[in-house]
Amino acid sequence: MIDTIGFDGDDTLWHNESLFSMTQDRFRTLLGHAADPETLNRRLLDVERANLRFYGYGIKGFVLSMIETAIDVTDGRVSGHDIATLVAFGKTMLAHPVELLDGVEAALDALAGRHRLLLITKGDLFDQESKVARSGLAERFAAVEIVSEKDAATYRRILDRHGVDPRRFLMVGNSVRSDVLPVLEAGGHAVHVPYHVTWAHEEAKPPADGYRRIDTLRALPALLEEFRP
């Protein structure tokens, strides 16, 4: 029996990676004179990964990594105008409307009566708070937890704070790496809802079993029925 359900935010409740992906398309177009698309993708990912320890996750770090990559691939000859364009890309992302995924509200409504719902989202505090507010979903959750990393210790701390037995906790999210593996490690249940794009850094091999996978949040209420005694 599940009494508490945790939901990831980015790419589970609202679109996110598609916005990064679209921005990265524009980045490749802007720097197309300096390197081919594959090189730009690889160099950017390398820079992003190397910068995680400085910046953590989020749009501001992404913009700084695009700027750094632009300088690298042009041997420092990138123009101030192009850098300003990258800064503007970031502001466009930060101000972008929060677009809910299909079926999110109906699924939350269907589950709210029987379960306590938590929003557990990773990333930049300011940006995530802004997205939660703009999503219009905040009132549907008993609590919103914004964390810098999702590992088993993070989930244990959150469950402990809310007095939740891991065996009665189910996490729902699009990332095997962040929403499935660490939850299983912490003794909870997990449902994977893949998004159509995954940031290369979030890619992880799913476990052989021990979790469920659905194509859309619309399927979640029916799946919860299976957990009932």
Residue numbers at the binding site for its own copies (CB under 8 A): 54-58, 60-61, 63-64, 67-68, 70-71, 74-81, 83-84, 87, 90-91, 94-95, 124-127, 129, 146-148
User: Least distance (Å) from its own copies to the CB of residue 80?
Assistant: 4
CB of 176 to its own copies, least distance (A): 22
Q: Among residues 49 and 196, whose Cβ is nearest to its own copies?
A: 49
Closer CB to its own copies, 60 or 218, in the complex = 60
Which CB sits closer to its own copies, 157 or 218?
157
Task: Check: CB of residue 172 under 8 Å from CB of residue 214.
Answer: no
Q: Within 13 Å of residue 165, how many CA atoms lie on the same side as its CB?
A: 5
Please report how close the Cβ of residue 29 comes to its own copies at its closest, in angstroms. 19
Residues with Cβ < 8 Å from 53, sequence gap 6 or more? Answer: none
Pick between residue 182 and residue 217 the one whose CB is nearest to its own copies: 182
Query: Cβ 109 to its own copies, closest distance in Å?
Result: 25
Which one, 78 or 217, has the nearer CB to its own copies? 78
What φ, ψ does residue 170 adopt, rounded to 5°? -125, 130
- Least distance (Å) from its own copies to the CB of residue 139? 15
Helices (H), 31-103: 37-55, 59-73, 80-95
Q: How many Cβ atoms sit within 10 Å of the Cβ of residue 169?
A: 24
Three-class SS state of 14: strand
Distance CA 121, CA 145 (A): 6
Amino acid in position 39: T
